Amino acid sequence: MSKLLIVGTVAFDAIETPFGKTDKILGGAGTYIGLSAANFDIDSAVVSVVGDDFPQEYLDLMKNNKIDIEGIEVVKGGKTFFWSGRYHNDLNSRDTLDTQLNVLADFNPVVPDNYKDSEYVMLGNLHPLVQLSVLEQIENPKLVVLDTMNFWMDNTPEDLDKVIAKVDVITINDEEARQLSGEYSLVKAARKIAEMGPKYIVIKKGEHGALLFHEDQIFHAPALPLEEVFDPTGAGDTFAGGFIGYLARTNDISFENMKNAVIYGSNLASFCVEKFGTERMQKLSREEVNERLHDFKKLTHFETKLD
């Protein structure tokens, strides 16, 4: 079975949406990616850091989802990374209310020996040098996927360029793709980003779906139209987890199969936004995911009469 190594934050979030607010709940890119990829029954591990204020029940939750947590360092006397944000009424934008790096400030990721031969590596949103450090500990990965965001483009562009040059796939949102490339057209943006290193570019467009670019080929996965988006937190990470989880499970990194990976990413993300935080992802059944896959087929499939 393929191994998947994930690096990303494991954290506390406090979230406000038009529908309500939470106290400190389980959050972090590594958490969402791990829970999402866990739907594919693969051998996965998360590398991260928390403080000793982090509840054992959250670690147990990950273990119960068959996620190896040996690589999650617990810093004695340390405090776990905390993020707090408030979404605007349309849920498409948000304000950060508070960010406390805490133990993340000195995070020195250590990949467990048993995962140094991982075929699949997911570099969740973090400082590019932390991502690079993880990548350097993996012997000969088959596929490396990078998720990042505008914060690193603004603050550590040179470090970011270094990690972008070493990955196979990058996942970013449409505004970030425009910022990174300086191109408004996403077709042109993807071409410029490909010149920086990645052979595959995934551009996430939120409620408008996602685009996958590879050489001159393009694939589009819609987002499932939902009655209500309850909390968008973690949707992008859940997308990334579904994307790489499906690839690790099928162990096929062809462009044709990567289309399916984008669909599974959208599929899982459509569940994530239905409840606060990781709540929906904690209780997701194989049947629900399969049923929604059927919805994606109905949503996109057509058979024309003239051609």
* List of residues 6+ apart from 126 with CB closer than 8 A: 7, 8, 9, 29, 107
Considering only 1, 21, 63, 184, the residue that binds its own copies (CB under 8 A) is 184
Cβ atoms of 26 and 56 within 8 Å: the answer is no
Residue 304 interacts with its own copies (CB under 8 A)? yes
SS3 216: coil
Task: Write the binding mask 14 to 43 for its own copies: x where contact by CB under 8 A, - elsewhere.
Answer: --------------------------x---
Total of chain residues touching its own copies, rule CB under 8 A? 46
Distance of CA 266 to the CA centre of its chain: 11
Residue list 231-250, contact with its own copies (CB under 8 A) = 246, 249-250
Q: Which is nearer to its own copies, 23 or 228 (CB)?
A: 228
Could you tell me the smallest distance in angstroms from the CB atom of residue 234 to its own copies?
20
Q: Is 287 in the site for its own copies (CB under 8 A)?
A: no
Other beta carbons less than 10 A from residue 101's beta carbon: 13
Q: How far apart are the first and last CA of the chain?
A: 43
Q: How far is the CB of 190 from its own copies (least distance, A)?
A: 9
Q: Report the C-alpha gap between 97 and 10 in whole angstroms.
A: 19
How far is residue 65's CA from residue 87's CA, in Å, rounded to a whole number?
Answer: 29
User: Which is nearer to its own copies, 76 or 305 (by Cβ)?
Assistant: 305
Cβ at position 219, least distance to its own copies in Å:
6
Q: Considering the rule CB under 8 A, would residue 169 count as an interface residue with its own copies?
A: no
105 lies in the binding site for its own copies (CB under 8 A) = no
Q: How far apart are CA 202 and CA 219, in angstroms?
A: 9
**254 counts as binding its own copies under rule CB under 8 A:** no
Checking phi first, is residue 60 left (phi over 0); if not, alpha (psi -120 to 50) or beta? alpha
What is the contact surface with its own copies in residues (CB under 8 A)? 40, 89-90, 184-188, 205, 208-209, 211, 217-222, 225-229, 246, 249-250, 252, 256-257, 259-260, 263-264, 290, 293-294, 298-307
